[in-house]
Each structure stands twice: as C-alpha cells, then as structure tokens.
Chains A and B, each alone.
Chain A
C-alpha cells in the first residue's frame, strides 16, 4: 500500500543521508523523496512516498522518529491532502505532429516552456494520476527525456509545522498505543 509521509527535519548537512540510509539499512522502500526548506529556515520538510503494510509503516515512522535530527513525522496517507508533482518532459515534435502535441498540452492545462526544431519541452503539475495519464498520451510522439520531482503534499485542514499541536507530545502519546491494527475502538476515541 502506498504511503505518504511528511517529515520535518533539522536543516543540517547530512540529514538526508541519515534518512535515506535508514531506509536502505532496514530494507524499506522509497518510491520518491523530495526535500526543501520550510517557512522556518532551520527546518526542512521531506515528503517521502513509500509502500508497505501497517507493521512496516509503523516501524518506518518509529525509526524515523528515533533519528535525533528528525523533529516530526506525520502520516498523510489517509488525510485530506492536496498532492502535487511537477514534470518537465521533452517530447518529439515535427512540423506535422506539433499541433497534436500542443492539443494534449492544452487539454491538461500544461505549459510549453521551450521549443526546438524537433521537440517541445512541456511543464506540467498535478497529481500523480494526472501526470501518468498525460505521459501516456504523449508517449506515441516519443518522450526524449522525462524529469519528475516526486510528490509533495499538504494537508487541507491543519498545519504540519514544528510549532503545531502535533508536537513531540502527540508522538509520545501515539507510541503508548497498542501496535499495528490492534487498536480497539476505545483507544481510537482516546486519540
């Protein structure tokens, strides 16, 4: 199952290596990982897309939390979120096929950012499925080069920041709950 984690980390050198090293050392998968500074310049946010069953996700989150440089880990998988990814793609376009390519670009509200004799460079943002659909349609023309950023995601109803309600306290509470799927209804309401 696909999982989206929003991870706030100290904006130091070496933190990315700690996080990616943890995934490889413990045999967890990374489907995509994006990282950038947040509204607080001392904090970076990593959006990690991974997959695994509940116990695996639980271990990933616990192991991430264990890193001293990790400030907060939030699972966005089941939340109401806005998800975006950006693609830059260089598409074959001769004089005869160019109008067809442009039509696909317009349909997806993408942009043409560079034009060459035999190709067009297209920029598009959207959800993973939108980008996949568009690339499917562009494939017959010939995709010369494809660059994807990986997913970023923001929750609609709350802010995930260092100062938010979601501090270490909540993290600790969660750690005291039973593991995996064994949460009873009573405990769910306690949360």
Chain B
C-alpha cells in the first residue's frame, strides 16, 4: 500500500523507537504535522526552535539515544542552527528534520525558503535533501545510523513539502550500507600492545578523559583500567561524570578552570593517555608547553581528531569502550607511590576554594549545597559562563550522563531547554539546571513548555546582575573597563516571571536560606525557579590566562 511521505517519516521514526520529538510546526511541514497527529510518540511543542534543538540535545546526552526535532522551512530551520552547531561541537547524536519549500520552488527565493543544506553543511555530520519520496525511508535509516555511530553528531534531513505529500510504498531497510562510512570500533592490536608496554614502564601516567568516554558508555572500563594500574584520572568538561569524583584517583577537571593538581599532573606526567578527548584549546592552553615531559597516547574514534593539535606517539583509532577492554588485560599493577604522593601534596596545597561569607551568597556555595542535597545524584544542566565553570568545579559528578553542558560551542541559553530534554529522558530523577542570569534570559521562554508539559525541572539562577565571565575577563585583562556587561537594572523579577508562566518561584538573598530553598524545590512536584542573589564580583579560580601554559594559573588570594 502506498502512503504519503509524511506518513513514511512517522513510520520510520516509530521503527527507530523514538519517544519524543521536539519542534514547532509551520507551512512547509504541515503534511508532517498532519501525520504526527496520530503518532504514538510524543511531540513537545517548544516556544522557539533553538529550544527544540537544545531539548533534543539534552535528551540525547541524558539518555544516550538520538534526539529528534522537526522544524519548518526558512526561519524555523535557521532558528535551529545554533542548536545543531552545539550538538555538532560536542558530538551529540541528533536527527533534525527541516521542512523545505516544494522541490520546484527550491532556488526561487520562495516564501520561507532557506538553503538549509548549505547553511548547515559545516555544522552537521551529514545532511540530506530528499527529492524523491522513494528515498525517504532509506534516508531516515541512514540518518539515524550516521548520527549514532562512529563519532556521533547531528544529521539534517531537508524535506520539501511536495515530497512529504507524494506517495510511495513504505519499506524500512533492515541494514545500512554506505561505502564511504565505516567507523572502526576495535583498536589496532599492535598499537594497543605498544600502549600497554608504555603504561607498564611509566612512572607518572595520567588518564585524560573526554566526552568520548561517555558517548561510548565506557565508564566501567575506565574505572577498571584506572584501578588495575592505579592511574590518576582527570576529565574534561565534556568528560565530567565518566569517572566518579569521590574516587581517590580522581583529579577533577583540567584546563583553563581546572584544578591546580590536575593541571600540575598534566605538566609533570611522563605518559598522558587521552581517552575520547580532543586536546581542545581550553584544555591545553599554550600548546607547545602542554605536557612537556609526556609521551602521548590518543584513543579516539575519529581519526581526524588524532594529531590535529598535538604530536601523538601512539594513535589508536577505535571506540573507547572496545579499546579499553582490549587494553586493560595487558596492563600491570604499577608501583606509583611517589607519583600518588606528589599529587596528594598538590591536592593538599592547592585545593579548590572560595571564601565563605555570612551575609552574601557565594555562587560556589549554592552549587555545593545542590550537590549535597541531591546526594550528588542529580542530572545537572548548565548554561555557559562562570556558573558553568563553578558547577564543573563544585558539583561532585558520580555518574556518566549527569553533566549536560555546552562545551565546544559554549552556547549561552543552552542549559534550561537542555535540562527539560534531560528530564524527559530521565523522568524519575532530579534534574537541576544551574544557570546564570545572562544565559537564562536567552531561552527562558521555554518556561512555558516546561509548565505546559508538567516537566518538573528545578532551575537555580545564580544572579550576579551581569555577564559574569565577560566581567571577569574585563577585570583581569581589560583594565576593569567594564563594557556592556551590566544586566542588573533591567533583570526581571524571576519569581514573578516564574509565577506568570505558572511555575513556582523563590528568591533567596541570604546564605542561611540556601539549603531550605533547595530542599523545598526538591520536594515540589512541578517546575521550580530558584532566584539566588549571589555576590556579583566573584571570579572563577583557578584560571589559566589565554595563551599561557596550563600550570601558569591565577589562583585566588
């Protein structure tokens, strides 16, 4: 029986086991929305397409399954661009279906036409313009395959209105064969053997773990390797949660706002094993001075990540989980007493710290209390800026997929919608969004989506009345010439705002009120907004100034 393209799309999404689709309808996707009317999965109507893409992204990060969004042509699709780019930079599996004008109008400057294939080419893993309805089922199958395998990423399907109205037989392919796309899973045995030899000879080894460990689901394998050999572990922002931070071997995050002891460990190690991490400039600082004494092993599923920014002694192309499984049996228990003692010394001398104040709320304190009161078990989403770095430092992440944050692109406004998506992926769990007053105001319109769909996310806004990270840079590197950072006078009353949307709101102005407010929020069954008035001049320390080696850190006085 022949069915319409729109129906083929819905059937294909059913076959892929899709639970939620995020988006907004519009002219070119009306046939699709007609088919969605009877679909068994849930459509979450957002208030802005950027929100839809971030929700799909947050859903993907929290669940490990691909996020799906459907937006209309033209402005709907261009609004989705930031969210697609965010997912691309952090290698998050996503399938985004954008409506397109009818095929005979393409290129004609038609109403609500935008060249989405062209616009998204550098920010998608792959993209398809479906010109014939017979190809649609195959394209959807391939899109999900490409999005979720290898180094994951967003795939765009541009679907013209006439194609979604044309009819074809629905036959969903069982397998995918793309001759130009065959990701390697197993590491090369010889390279793994050599790595094991290097590890067994090393005196100061260090595991440097990134988001690849989380997308590969390799936390357990990582723990086994670290425990067996006794190797300390530092994680990137994207890797937070892959190694429990209460472990004695955990060093927390490295890089620009990493811990002193993690950065010192990198600069002093004799063997650096990069696990699903890509030597981003926020991690390495000045690249020529990064890990100067170390041999470098780089495990990554993407060959193009290897040797892109640093010289590598042993490259291993493969899936982190597979490679660690191959590697661990070849590794011996190492005698690293001196190395462990050296690191313990750094930990004691340079712990993370902030100066507690009895009258003003310190942002770090709020995060510490959220960590304590959620027993380190909540799913955390953040925006981008100081609050994001403090969250990375002060929340004790114990499990993979518990830190939902935009690392690569650094998208302000990401946290709130991503947290909503994460909550849908993990319905029984606490999702706490830690946001800044600047970030939150970029996407706060999704309060409406949260309230309408009864999504019980908790939002903590750390309100310092300014764009704090920009303020910090202007204070430290631009002679305190504070340019366009002041939000204070026009910041809305967030409590009233929450109430206007139908959510619960609380304003917290003193340190003593912090814990009771968090407890009250956790006990409330619906969405809650906590408006914390925090100290506005607080800086994120330690900090490596841009362009410096990562052991050249500014720490707080």
Interface residues of A (CB under 8 A from B): 9-10, 14, 17-18, 21, 25, 55, 58-59, 62-63, 65-72, 162, 168, 172-173, 175-180, 182, 190
Q: Is residue B489 contacting chain A, with contact meaning CB distance below 8 A?
A: no
B311 touches A14 (CB 8 A): no
Q: Is residue B470 contacting chain A, with contact meaning CB distance below 8 A?
A: no
In chain B, positions 247-303 with a C-beta closer than 8 Å to chain A are: 302-303
Known: A18-B121, A21-B121, A71-B179. A180 touches B307 (CB 8 A): yes
Other-chain residue from B303, B307, B313 in contact with A55 (beta carbon distance below 8 A): B307
- A-chain residues with CB within 8 Å of residue B182 when the two chains form the complex: 168, 172
A175 touches B184 (CB 8 A): yes
Which of B92-100, B314-322, B416-424, B534-542 contacts its partner?
Answer: B314-322
B311 touches A10 (CB 8 A): no
Chain B: CB-nearest residue to A176: B188
B313 touches A59 (CB 8 A): no
Interface residues of B (CB under 8 A from A): 117-118, 121-122, 125-126, 129, 146, 178-182, 184, 187-188, 190-191, 302-304, 306-308, 311-317
Known: A14-B129, A18-B121. A176 touches B316 (CB 8 A): yes
B184 touches A63 (CB 8 A): no
Known: A14-B129, A21-B122, A176-B316. A68 touches B307 (CB 8 A): no
Docked Cα-Cα span, A58 to B315, in Å, equals 13
Chain A: CB-nearest residue to B188: A176
B179 touches A179 (CB 8 A): no
Task: Other than A68-B180, A179-B306, give 17 A-B pairs with Cβ distance below 8 A.
Answer: A9-B180, A10-B180, A25-B122, A59-B304, A62-B303, A62-B306, A70-B180, A168-B179, A172-B182, A175-B306, A176-B187, A176-B315, A176-B316, A178-B314, A178-B315, A179-B312, A179-B315
Docked Cα-Cα span, A9 to B178, in Å, equals 12
B313 touches A178 (CB 8 A): yes
Q: List 7 A-B contacts (CB under 8 A).
A: A18-B121, A55-B307, A59-B304, A63-B304, A70-B180, A72-B180, A162-B179
Chain A: CB-nearest residue to B302: A66
Docked Cα-Cα span, A66 to B314, in Å, equals 20
- Highest count of chain B CB atoms <10 Å: which of A65, A176, A190: A176
- A-chain residues with CB within 8 Å of residue B303 when the two chains form the complex: 62, 65-66, 175
Docked Cα-Cα span, A70 to B180, in Å, equals 5
- A-chain residues with CB within 8 Å of residue B308 when the two chains form the complex: 59
- B-chain residues with CB within 8 Å of residue A180 when the two chains form the complex: 307, 311
- Highest count of chain A CB atoms <10 Å: which of B180, B182, B190: B180
B311 touches A176 (CB 8 A): no
- A-chain residues with CB within 8 Å of residue B117 when the two chains form the complex: 14
Docked Cα-Cα span, A66 to B184, in Å, equals 12
- B-chain residues with CB within 8 Å of residue A14 when the two chains form the complex: 117, 129
Known: A68-B126, A68-B180, A162-B179. A177 touches B315 (CB 8 A): yes
Docked Cα-Cα span, A71 to B180, in Å, equals 4
Chain A: CB-nearest residue to B187: A176
Other-chain residue from B118, B146, B191 in contact with A68 (beta carbon distance below 8 A): B146
B307 touches A58 (CB 8 A): yes
Chain B: CB-nearest residue to A162: B179
Nearest Cβ on chain B to A59's Cβ, whole angstroms: 6
Chain B: CB-nearest residue to A22: B122
A176 touches B317 (CB 8 A): yes
- A-chain residues with CB within 8 Å of residue B313 when the two chains form the complex: 178, 182
In the A-B complex, the 8 residue pairs with the closest CB atoms: A179-B307, A176-B188, A62-B304, A175-B303, A175-B317, A68-B126, A71-B180, A68-B181
- B-chain residues with CB within 8 Å of residue A66 when the two chains form the complex: 302-304
A69 touches B180 (CB 8 A): yes
Docked Cα-Cα span, A66 to B180, in Å, equals 8
- A-chain residues with CB within 8 Å of residue B314 when the two chains form the complex: 178
- B-chain residues with CB within 8 Å of residue A68 when the two chains form the complex: 125-126, 146, 178, 180-181
Chain B: CB-nearest residue to A72: B180
Chain A: CB-nearest residue to B316: A176
- B-chain residues with CB within 8 Å of residue A182 when the two chains form the complex: 311, 313
Nearest Cβ on chain B to A40's Cβ, whole angstroms: 11
Nearest Cβ on chain B to A41's Cβ, whole angstroms: 15
A178 touches B312 (CB 8 A): yes
- A-chain residues with CB within 8 Å of residue B190 when the two chains form the complex: 176, 190
Nearest Cβ on chain A to B296's Cβ, whole angstroms: 10
Docked Cα-Cα span, A21 to B117, in Å, equals 12
Docked Cα-Cα span, A9 to B180, in Å, equals 8
- A-chain residues with CB within 8 Å of residue B302 when the two chains form the complex: 66
- A-chain residues with CB within 8 Å of residue B317 when the two chains form the complex: 172, 175-176
- B-chain residues with CB within 8 Å of residue A190 when the two chains form the complex: 190
Docked Cα-Cα span, A167 to B440, in Å, equals 49
Known: A63-B304, A66-B302, A66-B304. A176 touches B122 (CB 8 A): no
Known: A21-B122, A58-B307, A59-B308. A67 touches B315 (CB 8 A): no
Docked Cα-Cα span, A59 to B190, in Å, equals 23
- A-chain residues with CB within 8 Å of residue B181 when the two chains form the complex: 68
Docked Cα-Cα span, A176 to B312, in Å, equals 11
Nearest Cβ on chain A to B180's Cβ, whole angstroms: 5
Docked Cα-Cα span, A29 to B259, in Å, equals 40
Docked Cα-Cα span, A173 to B318, in Å, equals 11
